[in-house]
């Protein structure tokens, strides 16, 4: 018998004295861990682990093999913390198994070994196993893998964790993703603020805001407990440099030896944003994985302040690491714009100046939904700059070459560059008031308008001459978020006399409604059944609540998921931010330099009267239905 095929019991091998120095604490027995005296191959055979090489390498390679099996995605089953038994794995070919040899060598430090010492997936010594078979591993060895400490593969930090936005939106969105399986089970959630709290304090604060989906409530309590147990608090104090260092150390403790990614949600006031972001860049970026930061709107006060903010962020991060979030862009309506345009042949041939008369973008908040906008920013800087202009860009851009985020951003940028600067004569600013006895009082500061109606034009071949009418306001009579695409009249319409005096009532219209009751409506002309010829303007409707039973995820949930996936098409790039400020600059300068007073309108009313005249000036009928 050849010595190269001889198996020596582990306890009798020359490496036995070295097992005491191994930090992996592997159980060893002569029945389960025989060691091959051969120096050429390693394999797994007959419920036994066969190692190769000299005795000095055994301990290191045992640890390395354990870590490699834990990290290898093909040896894990779905969860980041549950492992599939090797006996249950599909048999792989020698070529497939060898493809992981390099990865194992890199992760275990075996890269410096001779080729004959690396792991192979086959061994022809024993005729009972053919080339390409994946031999089984002893149950005792696999059980020992659970002793290896595992760290978080993803760490998410919410900076400003005790604020209203974090409690009501961010933490519930993170839990919804965790509950639905879109976050790894080993995720680490970190809350960071200046308050002197403990982990348990933070868990108590956010626990009441967490809810499970109504369409699947299985194991809700268990999932919630697991999520809270992986939530930690860091007291950043008043020095973010020291605070971020403490956050970094805590993250490293949770991550262990894992190659982890990090995401930071900056839910902080604008005046603190640069300091927080720069200290994250200096002190808390991921050592090995990716780092991404989420920045809340508004993105500056004007072009100049936005440029300074952008330069500060780019001094510490690359553009691909920065995600400027606007929760209104996470609505299903926005995501569906490109789907409707580029996956339906019926719309694309009509999507131009030849057939479209005007486009209206309406964001109207009723009294019940009215919320105070950022102090001193007003509705133009808070809503118009990001949500409105991004919506128009997605609605009007040319087909991108792919669904890659940068390709879509490039097309949006072309639209923004082609958009004419907003002439103050084409904008109506308003502010709501309420009546208190015999005295009228404006609720908000006069430098922050609560209503804006404007007419925009895109100077390119597709949209030349088509007015884009925007109405965004709060404290109005109706709550409505929708896009209305009105088509031109039918040339030489032979049914003109049957439509009635108002030809506009017979105009085709596509309505994309987000609130209330998300729907897609197409307004058409139809003959009323019966004798005679009478036309009626009817709507073909797709009402989401009737068609789909799935609960629609919150917009924060949607956008945070996109950040984790690296999908940035709904987030503004630096050049998009600058281009948007450039469009709004004339109106903002008019407000700042000349202290233009907004037109007052009744709280709970229809908005400023001047908006009706603006629509008429551009030949657009007021869509108030």
Which residues are known catalytic residues?
A: 387
CB 228 within 8 A of CB 203: yes
Residue spans of alpha helices (H) in 397-547: 405-418, 496-499, 544-547
Provide the CA 532 distance to its chain's centre, in angstroms.
55
3-state secondary structure 247-295: HHHHHHHHHCCCCCEEEEEECCCHHHHHHHHHHHHHHCCCCCCCEEEEE
Q: How far is it, in rounded angstroms, from Cα 240 to Cα 236?
A: 6
C-beta pairs of 137-141 under 8 Å, 24+ apart in sequence: 137/44, 137/47, 137/49, 137/86, 137/87, 138/32, 138/33, 138/47, 138/48, 138/49, 139/47, 140/27, 140/29, 140/32, 141/26, 141/27, 141/32, 141/33, 141/49
Instruction: Work out the burial of residue 446: count CB atoms within 10 Å of its CB; fewer than 13 is exposed, 13-18 middle, 19 or more buried.
Output: middle
Q: Distance of alpha carbon 447 from its chain centroid, rounded? A: 33
Q: Smallest Cα–Cα separation from 585: which of 372, 370, 306?
A: 306
Alpha carbons 524 and 541: distance in angstroms, whole number: 11
Q: Is the link from the previous residue into 115 a cis peptide, with omega within 30 of 0?
A: no
User: CA-CA distance, 452 to 588, in Å (whole number)?
Assistant: 12
Nearest CA among 363, 407, 370 for reference residue 389: 363
Residue 227, token pair as written in the block: 């999520």
């Amino acid at each position: 018998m050849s010595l190269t095929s001889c198996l020596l019991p582990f306890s009798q091998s020359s490496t036995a004295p070295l097992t005491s120095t191994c930090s992996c604490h592997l159980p060893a027995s002569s029945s389960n861990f025989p060691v091959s005296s051969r120096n050429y191959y390693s394999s797994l055979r007959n419920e036994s682990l066969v190692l190769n090489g000299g005795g000095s390498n055994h301990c290191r390679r045992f640890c390395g093999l354990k870590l490699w099996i834990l990290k290898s995605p093909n040896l894990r089953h779905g969860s980041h913390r549950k492992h599939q038994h090797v006996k249950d794995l599909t048999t792989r070919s020698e070529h497939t198994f060898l493809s992981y040899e390099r990865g194992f060598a890199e992760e275990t430090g075996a890269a410096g070994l001779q080729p004959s010492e690396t792991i192979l997936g086959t061994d022809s010594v024993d005729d009972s196993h053919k080339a390409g078979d994946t031999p089984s591993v002893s149950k005792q060895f696999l059980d020992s893998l659970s002793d290896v400490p595992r760290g978080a593969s993803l760490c998410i930090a919410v900076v400003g964790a005790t604020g209203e936005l974090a409690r009501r939106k961010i933490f519930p969105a993170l839990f919804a993703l965790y509950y639905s399986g879109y976050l790894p089970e080993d995720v680490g959630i970190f809350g960071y603020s200046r308050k002197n709290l403990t982990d348990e304090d933070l868990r108590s604060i956010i626990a009441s805001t967490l809810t499970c989906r109504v369409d699947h409530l299985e194991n809700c309590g268990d999932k919630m407990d697991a999520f809270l147990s992986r939530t930690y608090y860091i007291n950043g104090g008043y020095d973010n440099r020291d605070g971020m260092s403490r956050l970094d150390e805590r993250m490293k403790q949770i991550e262990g030896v894992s190659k982890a990614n990090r995401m930071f949600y900056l839910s902080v006031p604008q005046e603190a944003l640069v300091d927080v972001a720069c200290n994250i860049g200096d002190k808390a970026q991921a050592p090995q994985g990716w780092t991404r930061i989420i920045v809340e709107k508004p993105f500056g006060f004007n072009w100049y302040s936005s440029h300074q903010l952008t330069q500060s962020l780019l001094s510490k991060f690359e553009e691909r690491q920065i995600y400027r979030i606007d929760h209104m862009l996470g609505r299903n309506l926005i995501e569906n714009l490109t789907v409707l345009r580029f996956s339906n042949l019926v719309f694309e041939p009509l999507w131009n100046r030849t057939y479209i008369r005007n486009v209206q973008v309406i964001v109207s908040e009723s009294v019940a939904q009215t919320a105070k906008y950022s102090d001193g920013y007003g509705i133009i800087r808070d809503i118009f700059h990001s949500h409105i202009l991004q919506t128009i860009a997605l609605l009007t851009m040319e087909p991108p070459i792919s669904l890659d985020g940068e390709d879509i951003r490039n097309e949006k940028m072309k639209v923004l560059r082609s958009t004419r600067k907003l002439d103050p004569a084409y904008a109506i600013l308003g502010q709501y008031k309420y009546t208190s006895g015999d005295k009228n009082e404006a609720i908000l500061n006069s430098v922050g308008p609560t209503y804006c109606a404007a007419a925009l034009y895109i100077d390119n071949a597709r949209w030349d001459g088509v007015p884009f009418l925007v109405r965004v306001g709060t404290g109005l009579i109706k709550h409505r978020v929708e896009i209305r695409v009105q088509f031109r009249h039918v040339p030489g319409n032979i049914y003109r006399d049957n439509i009635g005096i108002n030809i506009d009532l017979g105009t085709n219209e596509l309505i994309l409604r987000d609130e209330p009751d998300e729907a897609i409506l197409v307004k058409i002309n139809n003959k009323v059944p019966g004798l005679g010829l009478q036309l009626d303007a009817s709507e073909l409707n797709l009402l989401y609540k009737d068609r789909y039973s799935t609960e629609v995820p919150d917009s924060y949930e949607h956008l945070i998921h996109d950040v984790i996936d690296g999908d940035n098409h709904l987030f503004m790039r630096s050049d998009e931010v600058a281009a948007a400020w450039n469009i709004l600059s004339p109106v903002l300068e008019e407000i700042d330099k000349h202290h233009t007073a907004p037109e007052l309108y009744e709280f709970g009313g229809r908005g400023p009267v001047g908006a009706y005249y603006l629509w008429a000036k551009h030949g657009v009928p007021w869509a108030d239905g």
